[in-house]
Amino acid sequence: MSRRRGRTVAPGRGRTANPGRTEAPVQAELDASWHSSIDDYVIDARWSPDGQMLAVAAISGPIGCLDIDTGKPEWTVHAHGFGTTELDWHPGLELLTSAGQDGLLRNWDPATGQQLSEMDGGSAWVEHVAWSPSGKVLASAAGKSLRLWDPAGTLLREFSDHTSTISDIAWKPGCEEVVTGAYGGLRFWNVSSSNAVRTLEWRGSILTIAWSPDGKYIATGDQDSTVHFWTIRTGKDLQMYGYPTKVQDLSWDARGKYLATGGGPTVAVWDCRGRGPEGRSPILLEGHESVLTALAFHPDRNLLISGDETGHVALWQPGVSDEPLDHIVVGNAISVLQWSPDGSAVVVGTENGSVARLELRTED
């Protein structure tokens, strides 16, 4: 992978991990504690903030909660006509929100599956939904429209002047400011302003957005097989290119040190300390034989999990070893990977509807 600024690295080459680093290597493995199925493509799977509930969604519309110890369904409802697109948990209340291809958002009681409220997303297809860090505001994206709601489902603001379809939304960490990605760059919004409070322009098609945990940087994975990277304080941007495929998967580690990127069968991990990735070569983690479909850093530790389109899941310790700590095959193509809040387990969803809980076993 290469960059538009700084030292150039030939595509497909980078640096391997340095065993002499101060971080100690760990022995870790993944152990499947249960397998379940929802009989359709797993479009989303989310742990509740306390880790005591697990919500899953099928692309055809059903959503529900699985027992975290057995994987058995506790309840299931057909949430959206034409299909469900995304889920999100309220950070403080027992409230689960879903978005769908019927143009609606719905709030659910996660204990019973009872619908609590219904909201019109403003277009025929609501693609994204996300609660703010405080839980005071819910953001939804449908077509060219961003809408902001309170927990009761009351519309607070609508921003419908995007020039193209909103491809992703992401709240700034610890802040009531949400960013939208679309062709042409990023726009920043909040409830108190009727216009975008900031714009970061770039003529390209954004697919996914990832904030660094400290809010200093924002990165996007892009349709043209690149990763774009901005320093928020200065607005300075950087582009990493040379990926074999479009980049749909990004993940930051908990300290904001590493940014892991997909875009092919190799995980490229950028060191973002200090001045950021400019002038640095990525760490290349080569263990997958097919294109990556999901990435997720551990919530507390320097452990990264990756999944690909043949169902292989690998566990890594970037910057310490370029060999996977463990790997396991789970069903079909991986569609979802998410760590539990305490980092003790990972939920894995696949395109053929299988859902698995993988336990993390470590020896430091």
Task: Say if residues 303 and 345 touch (Cβ distance below 8 Å).
Answer: no
What global pTM score does this model have?
Answer: 0.93
pLDDT (tens digit per residue) in 335-352: 999 999 999 999 999 999
Q: Identify whether the C-beta of residue 159 lies closer than 8 Å to the C-beta of residue 166.
A: no
pLDDT digits (tens, 9 = 90+) for 50-64: 999 999 999 999 999
Give per-residue pLDDT as tens, 181-237: 999 999 999 999 999 999 999 989 999 999 999 999 999 999 999 999 999 999 999
Q: State the residue for tokens 């939208």.
A: 180
pLDDT of res. 275: 77
pLDDT band at 22 (very low <50, low <70, confident <90, very high): low
Q: Sheet containing 73-78: give its strands across.
A: 42-47, 54-58, 62-66, 73-78
Cα-Cα end-to-end distance for the chain:
32
Domains, the chain, with CATH or none:
13-363 (2.130.10.10)
Q: What is the dihedral of CA 45, 51, 52, 53, to 10 degrees?
A: -10
Tell me the β-bridge partners of 226: 241
For 155, the token pair is 């519309």
User: What tokens were used for 282?
Assistant: 């990525």
The confidence score (pLDDT) of residue 69 equals 96
Is it the case that residue 9 has pLDDT exceeding 90? no
